[in-house]
Amino acid sequence: SQQGEEDPQALSIQEGENATMNCSYKTSINNLQWYRQNSGRGLVHLILIRSNEREKHSGRLRVTLDTSKKSSSLLITASRAADTASYFCATPASDSWGKLQFGAGTQVVVTP
Partner 1 sequence: EAQVTQNPRYLITVTGKKLTVTCSQNMNHEYMSWYRQDPGLGLRQIYYSMNVEVTDKGDVPEGYKVSRKEKRNFPLILESPSPNQTSLYFCASSFGDSDTQYFGPGTRLTVL
Q: Which residues from 30-49 bind partner 1, rule CB under 8 A?
A: 30-31, 33, 35, 40-45, 48
Work out how close the CB of 96 gets to partner 1 at its nearest, in angstroms, rounded to a whole number: 7
User: Cα–Cα distance between 94 and 55 in angstroms, integer?
Assistant: 23
Smaller CB separation from partner 1, 45 or 80: 45
User: Cα–Cα distance between 8 and 20 in angstroms, integer?
Assistant: 9
Smaller CB separation from partner 1, 13 or 104: 104
Q: Give the other-Cβ count within 10 Å of 49's Cβ.
A: 20
Is 108 a binding residue for partner 1 by CB under 8 A? The answer is no
What 3-state class would DSSP assign to 81? helix
Compose the 68-97 pattern: x for residues touching partner 1 by CB under 8 A, - for all others.
--------------------x-x-x---xx
Q: Which residues partner with 10 through β-bridges?
A: 107
